[in-house]
Copies of this chain bind each other. A is one copy, B any other.
Amino acid sequence: MTYVRNAWYVAAWADECGAQRPMGVRVLNEPIVIWRNAGGELAAFEDRCIHRLAPLSLGRCEGEKLRCMYHGLLYDRTGCVIEVPGQDKIPSSLHVRSYPVIERHKWIWIWMGGVSQANETLIPSVIPPIGLEHPDYIYGHGYLDFAAEARLINDNLLDLSHVSFLHAESFRLGETWTRERPQVTQLERSVRSERWFKNQGFNGSLDFKIPVDTYFVQELFIPGVLLMTARSYSGGTADALNGQQPSDFRRPPESSSTQYSFSIQAVTPLTCKTARYFYIVGDRRRGDETSYDMTTYEKGFAEDKMMIEAQQRNIDTAPSRRFMPTSADRGVVLFNRLIERMAGEEGRSGESITSDGPPHGSDKKESDCIDEGDCR
């Protein structure tokens, strides 16, 4: 599988990683421990003690430090070994691999590539001021693990023509999704797809009273982060604008009669054949609801999971078979070509993409012995 390493991957919900409780996750098949120091600041290490490869996620937070609870090696926040119990001398610069880590949009993001290239601005922005908290909106969220490679989930999100078939019983969206093609644009690190639904239910919904025009935009960012926004307009707007994006589309509407919904989703490869699908959905609040009703989304996502896992099993039975793109696959083709190109450039610049991950973090490769040979 081909993945871009110089990218921010969503590793967990921020509130999953509590104070002083190290948490083990997996990204790109690398075991990673995420932990907070006494001040709540995040750190992320390879989840293998350099001594005997025991998981540090079974370790203990000690203020600003993290201790392996197998034989007691102690690490500081940068991943340096600062204590080997019972041993006075420790080779300098002995450390475990450390990953850049950021908390944003309720998620913990990890940079899987070269540390010097880590760049916070590559985390996609959500539209202010709605963000993920706003009194006029109500939110739902969750995650779902797939027994399938992440690419198949990205592809699913890149070609929403499937909603008319796979989700006919759940989302109940009409045939516009499959009969008409959106406008697809490739950008520097994303593929955007946008379209009008004219004179029908919001977003093409089959369940509506008064028809509207809806402008819908989705953008999938490297490595697999999706932003989706839809906003309703009065019938005829699309034609009046000659199919262009309305100028006020990215401003949250003031009138509560305007429908406005959005979703932020992230697909993270756990292993070669498993992935975690994180999602946040938001809608304009209709009354005084205290929680978002996720029934429809959960049914729809379960349909995706069933289909994609079955697709994966079919692929595994005959790995040489190739997909045959239709005209609806334009976004799929562009995004995968972008990944291939970026991953290829990383490969040429010496960034490894093996299942073992990058080389071991120790600077002391020549001896591979913590006590400089005295144990032998």
Contacts and interface: CB of A to CB of B under 8 A. Distances in A.
A280 interface: no
Nearest to A54: B311
Contacts of A368: 322-324
A325 B330 CA distance: 53
A85 B161 contact: yes
B181 A52 contact: no
A362 interface: yes
A105 interface: no
Interface string A319-332: 11111111111101
Contacts of A374: 327
Q: How many identical chains are in the complex? A: 3
B307 A58 contact: yes
A67 B165 contact: yes
A92 to B, nearest CB: 14
Contacts of A67: 165
Given A55-B310, A55-B314, A317-B31, A71 B370 contact: no
Nearest to A306: B58
A70 B166 contact: yes
B162 A328 contact: no
What's the dominant secondary structure at chain A's contact region?
loop
Given A70-B307, A179-B86, A311-B54, A369 B161 contact: no
A356 interface: yes
A84 B317 CA distance: 25
B325 A369 contact: yes
A31 B314 contact: yes
B356 A326 contact: no
B86 A161 contact: yes
Contacts of A48: 314, 318, 321
A72 interface: yes
A311 B70 contact: yes
Interface string A145-162: 000000000010001011
A203 B300 CA distance: 58
A317 B70 contact: no
A176 B165 CA distance: 62
Given A69-B165, A85-B175, A318-B355, 5 more contacts: A47-B314, A52-B155, A58-B307, A86-B327, A327-B374
